[in-house]
Amino acid sequence: MRVLSLLASAAALIAVPAAAMQHDGHAGHAAAKSGDAIAAAVAAPTRTPANVARDTYRHPAETLAFFGVKPGDTVVELWPGGGWYTEILAPLTKTGGGTLYAVAPWERGLNRIKEWQGAKPDVYGAVKLAEFPNAGANPKVPDGSADVVLTFRNVHNWRSGGAENTANAFRQIFAMLKPGGTLGVAEHRLNESDDSAKEEKSGYLKESTVIALAEAAGFKLAGRSEINANPKDTKDYPKGVWTLPPSLTEGETDRAKYVAIGESDRMTLKFVKPAS
């Protein structure tokens, strides 16, 4: 049987055109190089130790690889907050000759990044800052300039601002991407069978909700991953997703229980802007 299997494998290789094999080889080599660069950025000594400790929940190397992020890309990080992913994306794009935009409400949403730029210009000095959603008066990401736009646990915040606010956010994301560009979304995930009313205040959203929002802006779903799934998350807490780490809004009440659950169950969705 082993001989037959080897013969079948050899026949399959012969049947593949040489040009296709060469293309696959180049693609595999490029993917491997990107993976190495992402791994190096995740291991960067400039990362905050407390942030590194959360890699076990956020799987940054696998997540960025799934989204197809390359070190030479123009990458937009939406609402970076405390800069958890910025600590990885800044060295990644710097060493790879890419460009990183950090974009958020102007200017309060960018204060942490601005502090870092002053304190560590060698790491964060090249990060470009822009307003998002953009109202017209402040810097913006130029239309059609981004290879990848990334948002981590932000869609529920936009949605809390209303339907039009959310639709506008997705329209602006669509505009800033190049044709064929990628939108990567990680978001707290509500079960599809749960009451949709839970989406209003819990911090969790259904995958179907996020997909519908993206598709309404013109995106096409390109893939889903369970990289950031957490089956221990019961999603039934009176204070919503913020009950779990890192917020732990219940304080010392049942703290050990929530720490044992870990961070939330998350969807990881990849969308593309159609090339034409």
Query: pLDDT (tens digit, 9 = 90+) per residue, 42-90?
Result: 999 999 999 999 999 999 999 999 999 999 999 999 999 999 999 999 9
Q: What does the pLDDT average to over 221-235?
A: 98
Q: Residue 154 pLDDT more than 80?
A: yes
Is the per-residue pLDDT at 156 higher than 50? yes
Sign (positive or negative) of CA dihedral 226, 230, 236, 240: negative
User: What is the DSSP code (8-state) at residue 239?
Assistant: T
What is the rounded CA–CA span in Å between residue 44 and residue 178?
29
For residue 13, pLDDT over 70 is answered with: no
Q: Does position 129 have pLDDT exceeding 80, yes or no?
A: yes
Minimum mean pLDDT among 13-22, 91-100, 106-115: which range? Answer: 13-22
CATH number of 2-272: 3.40.50.150
Q: Inform me whether the pLDDT recorded for 22 exceeds 60.
A: no
Q: What is the mean pLDDT of residues 151-157?
A: 97
**What are the residue boundaries of the structural domains of the chain, listed by start?**
2-272
Paired with 100 in beta bridges are 75
**Could you tell me how many residues make up the chain?**
276
Written as six digits, the tokens of 42 are: 């995740």
Residue 128 pLDDT exceeds 90: yes
Against a cut of 0.75, is the pTM above it? yes
Give yes or no for residue 219 having a pLDDT over 50: yes
Quote the distance between the C-alpha of residue 154 and its chain's center.
10
Average pLDDT, integer, range 201-214? 97
13 burial (CB, 10 Å; 0-12 / 13-18 / 19+) is exposed
pLDDT band at 36 (very low <50, low <70, confident <90, very high): very high
